[in-house]
Structure 1
Amino acid sequence: MKNETNTERTCPKCGCAYHGRPALSRTDNETLICPDCGTREALEALGISSEETEKIVSIIHRNRAE
């Protein structure tokens, strides 16, 4: 399981490479997607606008870097 988080994957939704744990897509409950797309899907389900969603994803990235 430890090696799972170090494996580079490509998100089938956005095409970006990522490391770490994947998220389970809410659209089919089967597809593994990158954490960013998982966050976007969750926020979309809550009715958050795409503009606000991108701000939130940006903040998450900024805080990860610290």
Structure 2
Amino acid sequence: MKNENFTEEKICPFCGQIYTARPAVSRKDGETLICPDCGIREALTGLGIDWEEQEKILETIHKSI
């Protein structure tokens, strides 16, 4: 994945987190821009992965960035 530098601060309408990374498009409506973490959560939820496991996955992702 290409590492791009995004600087504009945005607020995720789902979790309220301020983020500067490239937004994800919500799977719920296919239009709403959400933070990367919420985008990952939506994808993992769609795979049937529970909240606790999602936390572990996100923690691993954040450590590798």
Shared topology, TM-score over 0.5? yes
Q: Distance between the aligned counterparts of 2:23 and 2:7, measured in 1?
A: 11
Partner residue of 2:26?
25
Indicate the residue corresponding to 2:55 in structure 1.
54
Q: Identity of paired residues, percent? A: 57
**Residue number in structure 2 paired with 1:15:** 16
Unmatched tracts of structure 1, length 5 or more? none
Render the CA deviation track for 1:3-44: whole Å, top value 9, x for unaligned: x82111000000000011000000010100000000000000
Q: CA RMSD in A?
A: 1.2
How far off is 1:48 after superposition?
0.6
Matched length = 61
TM-score, reference length from structure 1: 0.87
**Counterpart for residue 36 of structure 2:** 35
Moved over 2 A (4+): none
Q: Comparing both structures, which one devotes a greater share of its residues to helix?
A: 1
| TM-score, with structure 2 as normaliser | 0.89
State the AA in 1 paired with 2:12: C
Consecutive unaligned residues in structure 2, runs of 5 or more: none
Q: Which amino acid is the alignment partner of residue 19 of structure 1?
A: T
